[in-house]
Amino acid sequence: MRNKYVGKSYPRVDAYEKVTGTATYVTDMFFPGMLYAAVLRSPYPHAKIKKLDVSKARELEGVRAVVTAEDSPYRQGIYLVDRPIFATDRVRYVGEPVAAVAADSWEIAQKALELIEVEYEPLPAVFDPREAMKGEVLIHPDLANYERMPIYNIEPEKNVFHHHKTRKGDIEKGFEEADYIIEGEYYLPQIYHAPLEPHGAIAYYGFDGNLTVWSSAQSPFTLRNLIAHAFKIPRHKVRVIAPYVGGGFGGKAGINMEGIVVALALKVPGKHIKLIYTREEDIMATVVRQGMYAKVKAGVKKDGTIVAWQEEMIFDGGAYAEYGTNVVRAAGYTTPGPYYVPNLKVDSYGVYTNHFVGGAFRGFGHGELHWAVERHMDKIAQELGMDPLELRMKNLLKPGLTNAMGQKIHEHTGDVEACLKKAAELIEYGKKPEQPKDPKKRRGKGIAALVKAPAMPTNAASSVVIKFHEDATVTLQVSIQEIGQGFNTAITQMAADALHIPAEKIKVVFPIDTDANPYEWQTVASRALWTVGNALYRAAEDALNQIKNIASQVLGVAPYNLEVEDDRVYIKYDPETYIPLTDIVMGYTYPDGHAIGGPVIGRGSFVPERLTNLDPETGQGNVAAEWTFGAEAAEVEVDMETGEVKVLKLVGVFDAGRVVNPMVATGQIIGGMVQGMGPALFEQIKYDEKGNPITISFTDYKLPTIADIPEEMIADFVETYEATSAFGVRGIAEHPMISVPPAIAAAIYDAIGVNLNEMPFTPEKILRALKEKENK
Amino acid sequence: MMIKMTINGDVVEVDVKPNETLLDVLRNKLYITGPKEGCGNGECGACTVIYNGKPINSCLVLAPEADGAEILTVEGLTKNGKLHPIQEAFIEENAFQCGFCTPGFIMSTKALLDRKKNPTREDIVEALAGNLCRCTGYQTIIRAVEKAAEKLGVKE
Amino acid sequence: MIAFDFAYHKPTSLQEAFELLSEEGAIPIMGSTDVVVKMRARRLRPKAVVDLKFIDELKFFKFNPEEGMVFGSAVTMNELIEDHPEVKEHYPVFYQAIKKVGAYQTRNRATVAGNIGNSSPAADSVPPLLTYNAKLKIVSKEGERIVELKDFFTGPGKNVLKQGEIIHSIIVPYEGKSIGMYYKLSRIKAVDLSTIGVALTVIDPEGKRDIRIALASVAPTPLRVFEAEDFIRSKELTKENVEEFAKIVQKNTSPITDARGTKEYRYEMAYVLPIKILREIGLYKEVN
């Protein structure tokens, strides 16, 4: 493989479309005669549907279809099939779809909704997962009968959709060895992804029985799979086309609202049906990040060595499990993050409540687990009177040690120590911040580490097809979605190096079309360059071998004596002798007209090597393919009169393996850190005391604006090449969001000496904590 | 009712209803899809267009009001396939990721640089605070605006 | 897109507007930044909207020390900020506050009259205008009347305007040099509604030092606290007096809990912020 493009800040290949407004998103697509859909939603967090009458809506002129659970009695779910497309006997959250309409115009569809008659009988609801575990209110009485992947461990009488257990070493012995037992409790609420593009989909069901769905989807193939499974349609008759996604962050993975348009399309063959969620619908009725309550008990030696770690994480999974099952599992098997602890007992529970549906969110359980772990590390440091960075350094997961599931850490796994050192250097850790003149304002610094592996099934596969064209240009077919992360750019660079041709001669086929593209599991888990890179390497080898085999016949030279470079294939020991690629890639034609070879099409597949499921009782096994370590640091200023926190500086350092595109990777880190700052300071889905959501628009659910960002943000890398990647790469996409909140919390402690153990750190909580400190 | 607007230099006549917004008409009737609907409430800025010389949220303008208006959308920035210096600066500074908010940011930037040749960081923040971006963390957007100002300054 | 039908009118004279507004279910609109949001959410379902921004008579701005500042209801916030330096010079607290309303895009459409007419307890433009003793000229078919801004609001989203009446202009007397601050606490630093907003204006700071204070988001209507002003008038700004002043401000508030903050926090800030502002504008040196 040559080394010409990887490592350079190659300009983004989607740049022109995006800066000119010509990049197409689902919402920008229009078809002749297209119908518009609208959805009737539950106003109750938990209620029985006593009566549902859509007859008047059906009679309205311009209405083409009205569907309810009666017409479309299907359930969906990626790991646990628990989510009906339309509520059946009961509704389980505010915003749950009850019926949908397709009409000639959006307005007619809206009018039809007002004609649907529903009678509800409110049921007792439960909003705190700890309460829900008592089982007094059962949200899914049929849970035991739902179809599910066997690796998930349900406890139906406790509303638990997954209970993960880690048992490593001897926890009791660990506590006996400890000099101190330090306990803590930590909480974070549900938060919302807030991609700027709300979810949207268009469905078309042909009279020939073929279904096409255009969707703002992170996972076109998994979406196809889940639609086919839910509606019982053969895979080859379901086609998903996924144009640009205007931000996903996990929220557009799997299946979301596509089932609604599909149900309508099946009723109106021959018509395109479009449904674009409003911002309000997007907040209420897609997925959010789960809330979490954590209880930690750590056993620590006088010198700071942690010898035992016991933790219980209770996730507020909302009304349906979605990806939450696996979020709970990933958080369970990764705790206690980047630290080595010989004796571990971790229980992670995913619990149904009558809140919005919890699902995948950038970080996938790791923002949650590190919130508890990193806060608790600070608490330990405080109680021991030790520097928090020193405590961390002492307990790092280093080569030779084993992580929570018993996997051995190697030199090539990554270097968390180097990340922490670099982050400490960049934040000038240890150097006291310059304090403002106003004595009511105080500054401080904090640091936190992190680790994350892709959370995925052991067989999550990728494939790549490389097609050469007459002029020796190439199209690359790969089904990772371009959601803003820059995948199409990075993979172009990697393909150019793998094929030894100029990057300008390569185009990534877009949009993704499951009828034409090769299989890809999903665009999630920060695994794309790693997994697709491996498939690409094989596809490139395949294509190059085909080229060399043809050239070998023509030149009478063994294939291993040939090399491809830019526009030609030449003899290694006689570079002046070559054949232009244009004469080879469609097959070679001799002067007399007879031809050999044929069009060069390279194919490559990859499935992670040597992964196994975890033991259900101990959580030991080999489920993580590669780990990315990182460290983040913050400097803040706190106004002790108002409780306002201003983040002055953020630093993120990640062991990315080989960095493919520094410009794009830096962009990911900066963006991820700001996305981590939002929930640290103010983002939160709020409900009133009756469980009604009160933050369902951008007026009430606030995101960081350009006025909120720190003046200074620095991204940096450690590059320990990843041995399981043909390109030496590993993921960094989710990681920058993970440890920003604990770093900010640590900085607040450094500034004003109070611990914030509940996100977000609103001014009110800061003041309350200051008062508690005074009263002590 | 029929209204007449000048959009990106072209005179356009279109039949609109009071319950449609300018954004609805641009997107769904004229297929000018650069401006995006991110919230419909004037909170995200993805629908920003320059309306009679000023940046506004087109989702909050009732369509009939726009009769006689002069409108510039992101589609009107490129001339004969050549990018505007602001667009070049956004590419060079990597000031976008998913791209959905980008047309709005570019139009807010255009309006800012029309009124201030050398904006300070504070000016940039004020002009762009109404445009939400969930991907970039804004740092590169600030740099892109500064670079665009340089490019436009050099040209004159 | 709004889910129901309504008529749109674009009068170019007040007479025309009066006729249109006399129809039942007709409402006046200006920048439409609040109205469209409410109609989209179906919280407001007018039969007709009467767009007043094309009435030339409502587009004026004037300032002279005798009459003060008078501007028509169609003047946008950005016009006040950018086109009329008198606003910043003579009414600095008002200037600070309108710069904090919404986004730049919003302020190109939003008007102060609209902010007042919308009558949200969180309206940022209102507290400073209250401290400057602003008045409204209200016109209708029947004639005109002048209403003190402090008497205009009757509850959240409610005011003394009758069907067919519109705000013609805002009159802000000029009482000499003023300093002060609009302190807006919000969840994020821009484009947010206030969790609490405090306008503290000092008229003639070197002379009679008339301290005035009004607040947003702490009561059913924007609130001016005359009692606190009376207390502090001609008193020295000692620790004791300033704290008592802040206490009086606080006890006049009746905040609620909503998505932006709790009543407890708002109540506490109603005490903290007046003191903080006095310190930040340099009138009070004490640090507790």
Alpha-helical segments (H) within A232-358: 258-267, 279-285, 324-334
Q: Which of C104, C183, C188, C269 to mutate to test the interface with A (most CBs of A within 10 A)?
A: C188
Confidence band for C286, pLDDT divided at 50, 70 and 90: confident
Nearest to B108 by CA among B88, B83, B85, B125: B125
Nearest beta carbon to residue A642 from set C187, C190, C272: C272
> Does CATH place domain A291-456+613-775 in 3.30.365.10?
yes
Q: What is the pLDDT of residues C50-90, one digit of tens each?
A: 999 999 999 999 999 999 999 999 999 999 999 999 999 99
pLDDT of A578 over the 80 cut: yes
DSSP label of C57: G
pLDDT at position B81 is 86
For residue A407, give Cα distances in angstroms to A154, A413, A525, A614, C283: 26, 11, 19, 11, 64
- Only one residue has tokens 């977000």, namely A760
pLDDT at C240 over 60: yes
> Coil, strand or helix: which one is A362?
coil
Put simply, the chain C residues between 14 and 33 with a CB less than 8 A from any chain B CB are 29, 31-33
CATH of domain A31-123+206-276: 3.90.1170.50
Provide the number of CB pairs (under 8 Å) joining chain B to chain C.
Answer: 92
What ipTM did this prediction achieve? 0.98
- Nearest C-alpha neighbor of A98 from the set A118, A76, A121, A77: A118
Task: Report the candidate in A454, A442, A503, A324 with the shortest Cα–Cα distance to residue A747.
Answer: A442
Nearest CB partner across the interface for B130, out of C51, C99, C191 = C191
Q: What is the pLDDT of residue A51?
A: 97
The residues in C 248-287 lying below 8 A from A, measured between CB atoms, are: 258-262, 264-265, 268-269, 272-273, 276, 287
Question: How confident is the model over A499-516, as a mean pLDDT?
Answer: 98
pLDDT of residue C257: 95
Using a CB-CB cut-off of 8 Å, the residues of chain B touching C79 are: none
Which fold, B85-155? DNA polymerase; domain 1 (1.10.150)
pLDDT for B155 equals: 55
Nearest-CA residue of chain A relative to B19? A107
Q: pLDDT band for position B64 (50/70/90)?
A: very high
Domain range A15-22+460-606, its CATH number among 3.30.365.10, 3.60.15.10, 3.10.50.40, 3.40.50.300: 3.30.365.10
Three-state DSSP state, A188: strand
Measured distance CA(C264)–CA(C283) in Å, rounded: 27
pLDDT in tens, A665-684: 999 999 999 999 999 999 99
Element (H, E) at B57: strand B54-57
pLDDT at residue B156 tops 70: no
* Arithmetic mean of pLDDT, A61-88: 96
Domains A31-123+206-276 and A291-456+613-775 are alike in CATH topology: no
Per-residue pLDDT tens over the stretch A30-67 = 999 999 999 999 999 999 999 999 999 999 999 999 99
Residue A143 is classified by DSSP as G
* Per-residue pLDDT at C279: 96
In this prediction, residues A182-208 reach a mean pLDDT of 98
Question: How confident is residue B154, by pLDDT bands cut at 50, 70 and 90?
Answer: confident
- Calculate the CA C104 to chain-centre distance: 18
Residue A102: strand, helix, or coil = strand
Domains in chain C, start-ordered, CATH in brackets? 7-54 (3.30.43.10), 56-172 (3.30.465.10), 178-280 (3.30.390.50)
Q: Write the burial class of residue A459 (CB in 10 Å: 0-12 exposed, 13-18 middle, 19+ buried).
A: exposed
Name the CA radius of gyration of chain A, rounded. 27
**What is the rounded distance in angstroms from the CA atom of residue C199 to the CA atom of residue C94?**
8
Interface probe, candidates B26, B36, B43, B60, chain C, greatest C C-beta count within 10 A: B60
Q: Is residue A674 within 8 Å of A739, Cβ to Cβ?
A: no
CATH number assigned to the domain covering B2-76: 3.10.20.30
* Chain B residues interacting with chain C (CB cutoff of 8 angstroms): 17-21, 24, 40-43, 45, 48, 51, 54-57, 59-62, 64-65, 67, 108, 125-131
For chain A, the domains span: 15-22+460-606, 31-123+206-276, 291-456+613-775
